[in-house]
A and B are shown apart, each in its own frame.
Chain A
Amino acid sequence: MPTGLFHTTYEDDEKIFHTLWVKIWMGGLIFFLFAGLPFVASPLSSFFGFSVQHMANMIGIFIIGAHGLNLLTGCTGQISLGHGAFMGVGAFTSAILFMKAGWPFWFSLPAAGLVTAGVGMIFGIPSLRLRGLYLAIATMAAQFIIDYAMRNWTSLTGGSGGLNVDRPSIFGFALDTDLRYYYLILVVVILSTIFLKNLLRTKTGRAMVAIRDRYLSAEIMGVNLFKYRLLAFGISSFYVGVAGGLFAHYNLVVSDEHFTMWLSIQYLAMVIIGGLGHVLGGIFGTIFMVLLPELLRIPTEVLSNTYPNIFAIFGTLRELVFGLVIILFLIFEPDGLAARWHTIRAYWKLWPFSY
């Protein structure tokens, strides 16, 4: 019996699934997500008091965006406070192309990604000369500028009322229910996760990680800083743009209210709480952040017997808890949920001989 995982070749080290069991578990999980979740969704919904199917869809959409931000912030070390607005760019692009220009969904969704990638790269240009701090400010400015455009460019975005969007159909198969749309989201999530995981194993991915760890050394080693930083911005924005497109067709209405600074902060919280630079981190963090407000509802309902007007301040309480969670995580678990997951897994793998 092996007492641990020992790699003897580079090929071995770079494998996605290191052991057969990981592969089996992963297959089982994907099988469950495709075939099992729709069946358990409705009993779980009545148990928790919120629609599990809807939550699964939202988690899926945000995982794609969080992957994007994780590539940029976690793997390349570029802080972005503008991903909420970039998601809005994607949502509006897809909505406008689909509803106004009559493009098929197959084209409007990737187009949303591409347009967002372009916008993201424009705001990423300062990243050549600027370090983390300045970049955070530059992307924050991007958030406000795009926000303003979404609100005031009424001829294009419908202003404060927003745009109504229809659910698309693919090859005559209408994605008109939450469950049907779920499969679309699931496929995109799996594709984006595989792409991200593989990207990090390539030359490009290693260059990005090198930039994050020590960009001066990376540059001396021959990594073109500008190219890879801009590329990271582009791919990251593409991800979040696709997420925006999916969100637009799922939510049926897009307006600037969905894509505020608050969303950007939530995205950052997702990748930080999940674990910067880990593919799993984006997934864990998103699940945590999306479920948190729903789970908060349960103690709120209990408390509402003693404090009847607690629902009036529920939104504020949610923000308070959200802020506290961020602070506490940063102080006590700075490596995020993914790192915790790895320690737990390592413990059980070697149990009871963990030394």
Chain B
Amino acid sequence: MSPGMLHFVQLVVTGLVIGSVYSLVALGFVLIYKATSVLNFAQGEFVLVGAYICLDLIMRFQISFVWAFFLTMVFSVILGLLVERLTLRPLIGEPIITVIMVTIGLATVLKSIVTLFWGTQIKVFPPIFPQKPLNYQGIVVSQVYLWTLGFALLFMAIFALFFKYSRAGIAMRATAADQQASQSMGISVKKIFAISWCISAVVSAVGGILIGNINGINITLADFGLKVFPAVILGGLDSIVGAIIGGLTIGILENLMGGYLDIYFGGGVKEVAPFVVLVVILMIKPYGLFGTAEIERV
């Protein structure tokens, strides 16, 4: 392969891996939006909290990674429940801006709690996956990346099956489609709301742990959560398939734009490119690739 081509493929592969984590977090985001019509601006903080809890369990309590992972999941479930019960449930029926603002307030609170406990220094996960990079025809991929991609895809598959076949998953889809109808069929909508927040917190925590293994974690990991916005807008706010494809696309796109445009704009294109894409999508196709267009009848 020519060097230019190699560079391109390398960028795509890296983007794909980061994108798979975006997809995972975006999945959590869309889940909450679908079930409860809440835009969760604290999604990034779920990522942050999950990653720090897992790291702390490993480093301070010397628990093996597998157990730390499971305990983090348990913790995330509790976090999701608490958040839903304490802040979102009192606001059911309030205007959109109130609900958006409360998640922003929540983000601030979670972020400052993390800072109080763990500081702002960057922390590195102990190596969990094998370190030796793989070399395939000149494309170098470290094994962490492959594991991340694998895990992200695994979790997405698990949740896809969950929504398709499990009782709770079907109930969640029903609630998303029509709250009143599902309530009259005996589905407890409140319970569904709580489950949505739990699952969302869990997938975000998984995303946080995966990305922490690649880059290490510090407080800016919360900004990661903001990157799900371009992903979900591209895919359509209320589409789970859209979230997954949107996440992957944004990951690849930002990496390519960063790789090729950084020299012209003095660095950091990666951080802003997804948002430029976002604005463009909103202007030409506001409901994304797979979102339901809202049709208003008077």
Contact = CB atoms under 8 A, between A and B. Distances in A.
Given A152-B266, A320-B112, A320-B113, A330 B282 contact: no
A233 to B, nearest CB: 14
Interface in A139-195: 140-142, 144-145, 147-148, 151-152, 154
What is the interface residue range for chain B against chain A? 35 or more
Nearest to A151: B268
Contact of A331 (B90, B275, B296): B90
A126 B94 CA distance: 24
Interface string B62-105: 00000000000000000000000001001100101110111011
A79 B275 CA distance: 17
Interface string A307-347: 00000010011011011111100110010000000000000
A231 B296 CA distance: 24
A137 interface: yes
B263 interface: no
A73 interface: yes
Most buried by A among B105, B113, B276, B279: B105
Interface in A118-149: 123, 125-126, 129-134, 136-138, 140-142, 144-145, 147-148
Nearest to A217: B298
A125 B91 contact: no
B279 A138 contact: yes
Contacts of A73: 97
Contacts of A154: 266
Contacts of A140: 226, 229, 275
Interface stretch (A2-10, A235-243, A268-276, A298-306): A268-276
Contacts of B294: 131
A142 B226 CA distance: 13
B108 A141 contact: no
B278 A141 contact: yes
Nearest to B116: A316
Nearest to A327: B105
A73 B116 CA distance: 33
A145 B275 CA distance: 7
Interface in B220-256: 226, 229-230, 233, 237
Contacts of B265: 152
A265 interface: yes
Contacts of A350: none
Contacts of B108: 265, 319-320, 322-323, 326
Interface of A: 73, 79, 123, 125-126, 129-134, 136-138, 140-142, 144-145, 147-148, 151-152, 154, 216, 220, 265, 268-269, 272, 276, 313, 316-317, 319-320, 322-327, 330-331, 334
Q: 10 closest Cβ contacts across the A-B interface?
A: A323-B108, A326-B105, A323-B109, A320-B112, A141-B275, A148-B272, A319-B112, A327-B105, A132-B96, A144-B275
22 contacts: A79-B97, A126-B279, A131-B294, A133-B100, A134-B233, A137-B229, A137-B278, A138-B278, A140-B229, A141-B276, A141-B282, A145-B275, A148-B272, A152-B268, A269-B101, A272-B101, A316-B115, A320-B109, A322-B108, A323-B105, A323-B106, A334-B94
